[in-house]
Amino acid sequence: MRKLQNKKLCQDVRSLKNSEFVQEALNLGCLDAKIIMVESIITGHWVRLKCQYGCKSFANTLTCPPYSLCIEDMWDLLGEYRQGLLVKGESDEFVRNAVADLENKFVSNGFHKAFGLGSGACQLCTPCELENGCKYPDKARPSMTSCGIDVFKTVQSNGWKSSPLAPKDSRTEHFGLVLIN
């Protein structure tokens, strides 16, 4: 029975793959985009540990830990969605802007729960307005990593090839996610 349900869900996803969601991402300049099931999103406590011990943005922007969603809250959030749009872009900055734009487009098309998760720390302001609150709340979005998502496993589990072993600065592929419905 579970297999049958999964098959039905996959069929739904395939029908959306050709829909305007993917095309909207490609129109914005994303290198690729695909509709994925939320069940395929992989999380790990270790991801946040890497933010805390190894990233200079930790506690320095409102989109990074400890301000971003903890993994337990992320699990709850993912439980409220069925599918999302995984996007690939050429830089963190591009992906951050793209997921915010896509979120807005999807919301204005009736997908009121749409929410974007970007790549890397927000760098819209220098420094981040930690004391006074976010200056651009419509544009700033937490990265997938900052909420405990294992980006590379998630990407790989959805059929895209990508390696976390490439040096961060030389990476040509960056990933984001827009939770849709």
For ligand SF4, the binding residues (CB under 6 A) are: 61-63, 122, 124-125, 128-129, 134-136, 140
Residues whose CB is less than 8 angstroms from the CB of residue 181 and which lie 6 or more positions away in sequence, other chains included: 81, 82, 83, 111, 113, 114
From the CB of 64, what's the least distance to ligand SF4, in Å? 8
Are β-strands 32-37 and 83-89 bridged in parallel, bridged antiparallel, or unpaired? antiparallel
Closer to ligand SF4 by Cβ: residue 68 or 154: 68
Distance CA 152, CA 131 (A): 33
Residue 62 C-beta: closest distance to ligand SF4, Å: 4
The residues that bridge with 37 in the sheet, in sequence order, are 83
Nearer to ligand SF4, 33 or 95 (CB): 95
Nearer to ligand SF4, 15 or 52 (CB): 52
- Shortest reach from residue 69's CB to ligand SF4, in Å: 14
Least distance from ligand SF4 to the Cβ atom of residue 130, Å: 7
Of 83 and 143, CB closest to ligand SF4:
143
Distance CA 2, CA 15 (A): 20
Which residue stretches of 109-143 are H helix?
none
